[in-house]
Structure 1
Amino acid sequence: MQKLIEVRNLNIAYGGSAGWTNVVQDVSFEIARGEAFGLVGESGCGKSTVAYRLLGYGTINSLVQTGEVLFDGTDLLKLDAAALTRLRGNRIALVPQNPTTSLSPGMRVGAQIREMIATHRALPEGMAMEARIVELFALVGLPDVGHRYPHELSGGQQQRVTIAMAVACNPDLLVLDEPTTGLDVTTQRQIIQLLTDLRARIGMAMLYVTHDLALLAQIADRVGVMYAGQLVEVAPCEKLLSNPVHPYSRGLIASIPTMDTADRPGRGLRGVLRRDQMSTGCKFEPRCDFATPACRTAPQALEAVSDGRLVACMRWREAVAAHVSVLARKPDERPAEKPARLLSVDNLALSYGRRPSLFDRARGRTSPAVVRDIDLELRAGEVVALVGESGSGKSTIARAISGRLPPRAGTISLDGTVLAPALKERSVEELRQIQYIFQNPDASLNPRRRIRAILARPVDHFAIETDEKALETVLENVGLHAGYLNRFPDQLSGGERQRIAIARALLVNPKLLICDEILSALDVSVQARIVELLRALKEKHAVAMLFISHDLAVVQEFADRVAVLYRGELMQLADTATLLSEPLHPYTEMLLEAAPGLRKDGYVSRPPAAPASKAIPGIGCPLAGRCPRQIGTLCAETQPPVRATRNGFIRCHLTAGDLITRASPARRNNHASQITSVS
């Protein structure tokens, strides 16, 4: 295949007057036209630094020491600013990790796409600009949202806008930096299918930077694994995921949570990446189970070991031979008696915009509810996962519980005491007891404060006695070290910033943690560490958690119960094991079918053939118009009843028995144990 871009011996350093630190060392790879190349590794390994150099981007404190980045034979590192501007967005486009900071908050999203097309004069002949913008929105599964501002869209919708903008000029190469991090599983599938279709239609090549190897399995042709700035293995995607060779690759893949229980190719990674402890030889030596004294001093370089596979390890044969199966985690042993109820949410309804006045309510003027009829409870030490697609209302519910969005109706109680609707009306102790960990650490960490000051502020605010050792301990618990205390947030990777946000919430010893997609920006090894930390907190200190996530594999490992939300209404609630192995509600089945695995499954994310009648907002079932089991116009025009199951409920016009008979034969036997009563 013809090479489109080739990276040769790239070395990049960060630093300044105090000296330079090499963060990317001798990285070489190539991408053919139409090929999808994945770049994976733990947070801070340098993968985003390499990716951004493919567009000629580099921070002011970075320096390319040696190397070339050849695009169609032209070295991008030698181009001036004007030449790079003509290239970016036109022939090489970027989909950034964080759409919130990449979209201009003061421009409507349609105008931002229009600006991209106009700048590069990329409007197809004979097509009107507005028609092209609507076409691009449709490509990424959005209606015409061009009149909206970014803040009026959910995180997943914002990310789809950035993808529409990136493909607007039909680029030759698309650089994707964690593009599906904040998206739910069904939207992830839509994006992957979109990218696959674009490759087939225009021959677009991709560099896909991610920590989500399960998702990468669905799209990548080849994968490069990075550790501490170096490529340690390059292989065809299927070969790498089924039989990794380098000890680091094996540990990374063994750390991935998946919905299946198949054996992994080794045990998970131990320790964390510490650049201050690396040897002059193999960088992975301090964490490697197969290291010898020679590994510490002998540099490792990529060498061909089989068809299409390169590996940088002198002991890869020993690693492959020493296969260690990973045992599934044993279920938690739970006490016979249920712990005390901590949080109770009763008949909660939420809307955005100003609260209707008495005058408005007397005349029937109310803001439309975006969340309706939510009943939920958490007990001390319990983890309840809230799952659903982007825009379903998960974060809206979390905002209300934390006091950042006063309810339109209903009550929220903590320890039997009804909480004031607004944050400013709650006591200091109530504020301490409920801590919120946000999805986006870029927006939740003060960029002008060092990490020490960021961690000290809540401690000082709640008058909690602490010392330097306590700050160092909480950093170690989230996989960081004391050296981070003197850094600013912009000196950390996205995953490292999220770990700081988690550490800040843990410092004040809360009773309830609201975790809003807190693992989405973390690599799999750090995810495993954080999950173990949170599990220890709930078991030792009875900390309850509302765990908002789109990663059903993590939910399976960690949550006690799962609540499934769709368009502001709870569709199903059940124990985790029951819900994931025996889903009843059609929407729950959709989520589970969309969850990626480590093997390419050929799944095509398209909505099922749906009846013509769609739900009347606030009246019919919100899934009407999309549900494959819809009953005529009944579902669209009538609110579905709540039907009890053995350990939860479903909200559906069909009885549990009817849902079972319409399920696949493989699931019917599993379902039968759930049904004990119907209300």
Structure 2
Amino acid sequence: MTKLIEIQNLGIAYAGQNGWTDVVEGVCFDIARGETFGLVGESGCGKSTVAYRLLGYGAANSRVQAGQVLFEGTDLLQLDARALARLRGNRIALVPQNPTTALSPGMRVGQQIREMIVTHCALPAGISMETRITELFALVGLPDVGRRYPHELSGGQQQRVTIAMAVACNPDLLVLDEPTTGLDVTTQRQIIQLLSDLRSRIGMAMLYVTHDLALLAQIADRIGVMYAGKLVEVASCEQLLTHPAHPYSRGLIASIPTVQHGHGGARGLRGMLRRDQMTAGCKFEPRCDFATAACRLTPQNLIPVTDAQSVACMRWSEVADSQPPAPSPVIALGTKRDTETLMSVDDLSLTYAQSGWFTELLGKKSIPVARDIDLELRCGEIVALVGESGSGKSTIARAISGRLAPVSGTIKVDGEVLAPTLASRSVQQLRQIQYIFQNPDASLNPRRTIRAILERPLHHFGIELQPDTLETALESVGLHAGYLNRYPEQLSGGERQRIAIARALLVNPKLLICDEILSALDVSVQTRIVELLLALKQQHAVAMLFISHDLAVVRQLADKVAVLYRGELMQLVDTDQLFGSPLHPYTEMLLRAAPGLCKDDYVAPPPAMPGSQSTAGTGCPLAGRCPRQVGELCAHSRPPSQKIQNGFIRCHIPIADLTHHTEDSAVARQTHVSGSASASLSFQLRG
């Protein structure tokens, strides 16, 4: 295949207090036309730094020390700003990690796509601008939202807008920097299918930067594994996931939780990436279970071990034939759950379109985004709130935290009714409920050091600062004291999220609201954070409302799962029961969409049937999309709430029929998930 882009011996350094520090060293790989190359590794390993250089971007305090980035033979590092501008958007496009900062808050999203097309390419013959914009929205699974501003869209919807912008000019190379971290599993599948279709239709190549190996398994042809600025393994997707040769690759795969069992039980990576502890030899040596004295002294470079695999490890053959490491101790779920109710939500309804003269002037009605929500959390209990982007998960969390006043309903903590807004709540109530936001870029003050950011809640709530308080908080989330004097812009996305988590934990809350807090973290750090959350639950009976689209993490962490669709709770049940017997058609759709560590066939949910959709909230919100819809009944009659063991389900189909259907499809579902797991386990069974 013809090479579209080739990275040769790339070295990049950042300026610091002690001079220039190498953050990327000797990186070499190429991408052929129509090929998808995945780049994985822990936060801070240099993935995004390499990716942005493919578009000629670099931080103000960075410089290229060595190497070339050849695009069709032209070195992008030698081009001036005007020449790069001609390539960006048209030939090489970017889907950034954070859509909140990528989209202009003062422009409607349709206008932003229009600007992209006008600036970088011409419209296809015979197609108007409005038609093209509508086509792009449909391409990424959105209705025509061109008149909306970014803040009127959910995080997942914002990310789909940035993808629509990136593919507007049908680029030759698409650079994707963690593009699906904020998306639910069904939308992830839609995006992966979209990208695969674009690749086959226009021959578009992709560099896909992510920490999600399960997602890469669905789309990548080859994968490069980075650690501390160096490539430690490059292999075909199948070869890497079934027979990883580098100890670091093995640890990454062992850290991945699975939908059917949560965490697989094998020990993943120990320690954390510490550049200040690295030796002159192998950079992974301080964390490697196979390291010897020679590893500490001898630098490791990529060497071919098969036709489709290269590895930077002198002991790769011994590693490949070894037994997997002993399992880490797993904290038992539910051992500290109390029968006492900590928080209850009763008959909660929410909307963003409030009544008043401005609403009447625009002719808008107050349309609920969530209605009749009933939730209960006991001390030490973790309830996961799952559902697709835009279903109302974060809206409910905002209401519980006091950031959005409900239209109706009550919220109680320790039996006391909470005031609807933050301003009306007491200091003690504010301390009891801590919110960890999905987007750390918007929740961390860019002008404050990490030390000041962490000290602020302690001062606000009058908590005495002990000498080792901040250091201990950082260590608990996989960081160290060296971060205290840095600013948020000097940290990777995953590192910023860990700071946000540490800040929330400092005040010892009773209830943590975790809004997609793991979506920006690599799998090894996810494991550390999950262990931390389980320890808080075990030792201090901290309750958590855990919002997530990662069903594997939910299986690992939650006691109960609440399934939300278009603002209505469709099912609430114990975690093991939900994953073992999903019952509700929508829950089953979510489980089938969850990616695994092998390529599989995904059957998209059926399109909405004309005239069968629920209107004005009179019927089931899933009507028109449900594969088991009961004629017009679902479209015009709201489904009843049926009690099941330890929960309820909202559906017209009787429980007995739902149970019978679930049993019939259990074998097919088990084949789907066990096939996903087999790839990750096969390497452990060798030798």
TM-score by length of 2: 0.94
| Match in the other structure for 2:148 | 148
8 Å contact 2:334–2:559 — kept in the other structure?
no
Give CA-to-partner distance per residue, 1:264-293, whole Å, 9 cap, x none: 796300000000000010000000000000
8 Å contact 1:459–1:466 — kept in the other structure?
yes
2:650 corresponds to 1:656: no
Query: Counterpart amino acid of 2:501?
Result: I
| Match in the other structure for 2:673 | none
Query: Counterpart amino acid of 1:470?
Result: T
Give CA-to-partner distance per residue, 1:493-512, whole Å, 9 cap, x none: 00000000000000000000
| Structure-2 separation of matches of 1:518 and 1:26 | 33
Instruction: Evaluate the alpha carbon distance shift between residue 337 and residue 576 of structure 1 in structure 2; reply closer, same or farther with a 3 A threshold.
Output: closer
| Match in the other structure for 1:96 | 96
- Paired residue secondary structure (2:11): strand
- Paired residue secondary structure (1:662): helix
Superposed, 1:582-661 pairs within 5 Å as: 582-607=581-606, 610=609, 612-661=611-660
| Structure-2 separation of matches of 1:604 and 1:87 | 36
| Structure-1 separation of matches of 2:451 and 2:239 | 44
Could you tell me how far 1:337 is from its partner in structure 2? 8.3
| Structure-2 separation of matches of 1:5 and 1:604 | 33
Could you tell me how far 1:339 is from its partner in structure 2? 2.5
| Match in the other structure for 1:674 | none
| Structure-1 separation of matches of 2:668 and 2:31 | 48
| Structure-1 separation of matches of 2:323 and 2:668 | 35
- Paired residue secondary structure (2:156): helix
8 Å contact 2:331–2:534 — kept in the other structure?
no
331-340 or 536-545: which moved more? 331-340
Instruction: Evaluate the alpha carbon distance shift between residue 385 and residue 17 of structure 1 in structure 2; reply closer, same or farther with a 3 A threshold.
Output: closer
311-320 or 443-452: which moved more? 311-320
| Match in the other structure for 1:314 | 314
Could you tell me how far 1:440 is from its partner in structure 2? 0.2
| Structure-1 separation of matches of 2:230 and 2:435 | 36
Give CA-to-partner distance per residue, 1:175-224, whole Å, 9 cap, x none: 00000000000000000000000001000000000000001100000000
- Paired residue secondary structure (1:27): strand
| Structure-1 separation of matches of 2:27 and 2:507 | 43
Could you tell me how far 1:40 is from its partner in structure 2? 0.1
Could you tell me how far 1:388 is from its partner in structure 2? 0.2
| Structure-1 separation of matches of 2:635 and 2:328 | 42
Could you tell me how far 1:260 is from its partner in structure 2? 3.6
| Structure-2 separation of matches of 1:276 and 1:365 | 58
| Structure-1 separation of matches of 2:127 and 2:610 | 32
| Structure-1 separation of matches of 2:244 and 2:261 | 18
Give CA-to-partner distance per residue, 1:14-52, whole Å, 9 cap, x none: 005741000000000000000000000000000000000
| Structure-2 separation of matches of 1:534 and 1:87 | 45
Instruction: Evaluate the alpha carbon distance shift between residue 331 and residue 628 of structure 1 in structure 2; reply closer, same or farther with a 3 A threshold.
Output: farther
8 Å contact 1:250–1:266 — kept in the other structure?
no
Q: Greater relative contact order (Cα 8 A, min sep 6): structure 1 or 2?
A: 2
8 Å contact 2:450–2:487 — kept in the other structure?
yes
| Match in the other structure for 2:233 | 233
8 Å contact 2:444–2:488 — kept in the other structure?
yes
TM-score by length of 1: 0.95
| Match in the other structure for 2:366 | 367
Give CA-to-partner distance per residue, 1:464-518, whole Å, 9 cap, x none: 0122301000000000000100000000000000000000000000000000000
Could you tell me how far 1:612 is from its partner in structure 2? 3.9
8 Å contact 1:190–1:606 — kept in the other structure?
no
8 Å contact 1:641–1:651 — kept in the other structure?
yes
| Structure-2 separation of matches of 1:264 and 1:129 | 50
8 Å contact 1:660–1:668 — kept in the other structure?
no
| Match in the other structure for 2:684 | none
| Structure-2 separation of matches of 1:193 and 1:639 | 33
538-547 or 321-330: which moved more? 321-330
Query: Counterpart amino acid of 1:620?
Result: G
Give CA-to-partner distance per residue, 1:547-584, whole Å, 9 cap, x none: 00000000000000000000000000000000011001
Could you tell me how far 1:91 is from its partner in structure 2? 0.1
- Paired residue secondary structure (1:620): coil
| Match in the other structure for 1:478 | 477
Superposed, 1:166-565 pairs within 5 Å as: 166-261=166-261, 267-324=267-324, 332=332, 334=334, 338-355=338-355, 367-565=366-564
| Match in the other structure for 2:679 | none
Superposed, 1:20-99 pairs within 5 Å as: 20-99=20-99
657-666 or 28-37: which moved more? 657-666
Instruction: Evaluate the alpha carbon distance shift between residue 203 and residue 619 of structure 1 in structure 2; reply closer, same or farther with a 3 A threshold.
Output: same
8 Å contact 1:97–1:178 — kept in the other structure?
yes
| Structure-1 separation of matches of 2:528 and 2:264 | 18
State the number of aligned residues: 667
| Structure-2 separation of matches of 1:120 and 1:670 | 45
8 Å contact 2:338–2:380 — kept in the other structure?
no
- Paired residue secondary structure (1:218): helix
Unaligned runs of at least 5 residues, structure 2:
671-687
- Paired residue secondary structure (2:367): coil
8 Å contact 1:3–1:30 — kept in the other structure?
yes
8 Å contact 1:263–1:325 — kept in the other structure?
no
- Paired residue secondary structure (2:219): coil
Unaligned runs of at least 5 residues, structure 1:
672-679
| Match in the other structure for 1:677 | none
126-135 or 516-525: which moved more? 126-135
8 Å contact 2:263–2:556 — kept in the other structure?
no
Query: Counterpart amino acid of 1:15?
Result: A
Query: Counterpart amino acid of 1:422?
Result: T
108-117 or 405-414: which moved more? 108-117
259-268 or 72-81: which moved more? 259-268
| Structure-2 separation of matches of 1:457 and 1:338 | 31
8 Å contact 1:248–1:288 — kept in the other structure?
yes
Give CA-to-partner distance per residue, 1:432-481, whole Å, 9 cap, x none: 00000000000000000000000000000000012230100000000000
Instruction: Evaluate the alpha carbon distance shift between residue 655 and residue 611 of structure 1 in structure 2; reply closer, same or farther with a 3 A threshold.
Output: farther
Could you tell me how far 1:259 is from its partner in structure 2? 1.4
8 Å contact 1:265–1:323 — kept in the other structure?
no
Instruction: Evaluate the alpha carbon distance shift between residue 152 and residue 333 of structure 1 in structure 2; reply closer, same or farther with a 3 A threshold.
Output: closer
Identity %: 73
Query: Counterpart amino acid of 1:391?
Result: G
Query: Counterpart amino acid of 1:463?
Result: G
8 Å contact 1:563–1:574 — kept in the other structure?
yes
Instruction: Evaluate the alpha carbon distance shift between residue 404 and residue 47 of structure 1 in structure 2; reply closer, same or farther with a 3 A threshold.
Output: same
Query: Counterpart amino acid of 1:4?
Result: L
8 Å contact 1:14–1:62 — kept in the other structure?
yes
8 Å contact 1:254–1:326 — kept in the other structure?
no
- Paired residue secondary structure (2:468): helix
Query: Counterpart amino acid of 2:550?
Result: D
Query: Counterpart amino acid of 2:654?
Result: T
Query: Counterpart amino acid of 2:50?
Result: V
Instruction: Evaluate the alpha carbon distance shift between residue 160 and residue 336 of structure 1 in structure 2; reply closer, same or farther with a 3 A threshold.
Output: closer
| Structure-2 separation of matches of 1:403 and 1:330 | 35
- Paired residue secondary structure (2:484): helix
| Structure-2 separation of matches of 1:453 and 1:609 | 51
| Structure-2 separation of matches of 1:103 and 1:500 | 24
Could you tell me how far 1:334 is from its partner in structure 2? 4.3
8 Å contact 1:516–1:547 — kept in the other structure?
yes
| Structure-2 separation of matches of 1:134 and 1:259 | 35
Instruction: Evaluate the alpha carbon distance shift between residue 333 and residue 353 of structure 1 in structure 2; reply closer, same or farther with a 3 A threshold.
Output: closer
Query: Counterpart amino acid of 1:410?
Result: G
| Structure-1 separation of matches of 2:262 and 2:520 | 25
Instruction: Evaluate the alpha carbon distance shift between residue 425 and residue 302 of structure 1 in structure 2; reply closer, same or farther with a 3 A threshold.
Output: same
8 Å contact 2:260–2:579 — kept in the other structure?
no
| Match in the other structure for 1:136 | 136
Give CA-to-partner distance per residue, 1:242-262, whole Å, 9 cap, x none: 111100000011001111459
8 Å contact 2:38–2:216 — kept in the other structure?
yes
- Paired residue secondary structure (2:376): strand
